């Protein structure tokens, strides 16, 4: 695998193509990218919390999905039309209101499909684990 996009390029792509991700203030930040992986951090605001002050499931799901997507783009370049075809998530612990880090590792990258594993951690350790499959459109 050859790395096609670095952290700066991924952050710019996300801001340009998906401005809704951080439309109410920066919450999702690209923190790393390399051969077969990408990482992000969620700095939750009130909109990311559920009653009881823990980070909500939908926010963790979004973190997993975006991190997996960026891990793929780090390898194949800016393909806006790569789409999630499946994402399975296991919520392991209730993360407290605070940063949640995600690391996505590519398990398989083919011409049309990619399979990615995502681990999400907080001060408690591992709080969620996900696997995602993405469909990659044909490239000319």
The answer to whether the beta carbons of residues 81 and 53 sit under 8 Å apart is no
Residue 127: CB partners within 8 Å, gap ≥ 6? 55, 60, 91, 92, 93, 94, 95, 100, 120, 121
104-133 pLDDT, tens digit per residue, is 999 999 999 999 999 999 999 999 999 999
20-52 pLDDT, tens digit per residue, is 888 777 899 999 999 999 999 999 998 899 999
Residue 29 token pair: 């930040």
- CATH code of the region 7-135: 3.10.129.10
Supply the Cα-derived Rg of the chain in whole angstroms. 14
Domain ranges of the chain: 7-135
The answer to whether the beta carbons of residues 39 and 102 sit under 8 Å apart is yes
Quick one: pLDDT at residue 24?
Answer: 78
Report the candidate in 24, 28, 36 with the shortest Cα–Cα distance to residue 11: 28
Report the candidate in 66, 1, 71 with the shortest Cα–Cα distance to residue 32: 71
Distance from the Cα of residue 47 to its chain's centroid? 18
Mean pLDDT of the chain: 94
74-105 pLDDT, tens digit per residue, is 999 998 899 999 999 999 999 999 999 999 99
pLDDT at 14 over 90: yes
């Amino acid at each position: 695998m050859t790395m096609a996009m670095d952290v700066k390029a991924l952050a710019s792509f996300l801001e340009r193509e998906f401005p809704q991700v951080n439309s109410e203030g920066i919450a999702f930040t690209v923190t790393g990218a390399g051969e077969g992986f990408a990482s992000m951090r969620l700095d939750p605001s009130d909109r990311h919390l559920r009653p009881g002050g823990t980070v909500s499931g939908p926010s963790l799901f979004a973190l997993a999905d975006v991190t997996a997507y960026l891990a793929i783009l780090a390898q194949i370049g800016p393909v806006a039309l790569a789409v999630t075809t499946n994402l399975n998530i296991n919520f392991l612990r209730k993360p407290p209101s605070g940063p949640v880090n995600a690391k996505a590792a590519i398990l398989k990258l083919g011409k049309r499909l990619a399979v990615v594993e995502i681990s999400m951690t907080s001060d408690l350790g591992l709080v969620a684990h996900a696997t995602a499959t993405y469909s990659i459109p044909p490239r000319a």
